[in-house]
Amino acid sequence: MAAQRGGGPGSSQPAAAADHSVLVVVGSLQPSGLLELVLRQIEAGVRCWQVSLDVPVLDQQLKLFVSRHSAFLSEDVRGQRTLQHRGEVLDTQVVVNPVRSFVCSEVRTENQ
């Protein structure tokens, strides 16, 4: 079941829900270039899902995330970044170095 989510941090407008969603939480990324490695590992992990998406659709959605994601820096939490892309099929959010309360609120949002 897809959850309807808002248009991103600070957005007041809801966006249409995708058929599938993924929330990836990553700890602090200190060395430069580590984010690209993490994104490749996420892509490999998502490809292992046993969902009804066929490979060309999933491949397209992952490419869209890599090329078109929006990036947000938290004004409240030093070092916290959010990368988001909402496609027609897959809503992807990667949160880097979040505080616990933020992760809990995002998980609750996904499950509503």
Q: Is the pLDDT of residue 101 over 80?
A: yes
| Residue 52, in any domain of the structure | yes
| Residue 37, in any domain of the structure | yes
| Residue 1, in any domain of the structure | no
Please tell me the predicted confidence (pLDDT) of residue 79. 84
Which residues in 23-42 are b (16+ Cβ under 10 Å) and which e? bbebeebeeeeebeebbeeb
| Residue 4, in any domain of the structure | no
In the chain, the number of structural domains is: 1
Q: What is the pLDDT of residues 60-73, one digit of tens each?
A: 887 888 888 899 99
| Residue 9, in any domain of the structure | no
Q: Which domain holds residue 57?
A: 20-111
| Residue 76, in any domain of the structure | yes
| Residue 14, in any domain of the structure | no
Distance, in Å, from the CA atom of 15 to the CA atom of 54, rounded to the nearest integer, reads: 24
Considering the entire predicted model, what is its pTM?
Answer: 0.62
Is 92:19 a contact under the CB 8 Å cutoff?
no
Q: What is the pLDDT of residues 10-45, one digit of tens each?
A: 444 445 677 788 888 888 666 777 777 877 887 777
| Residue 32, in any domain of the structure | yes
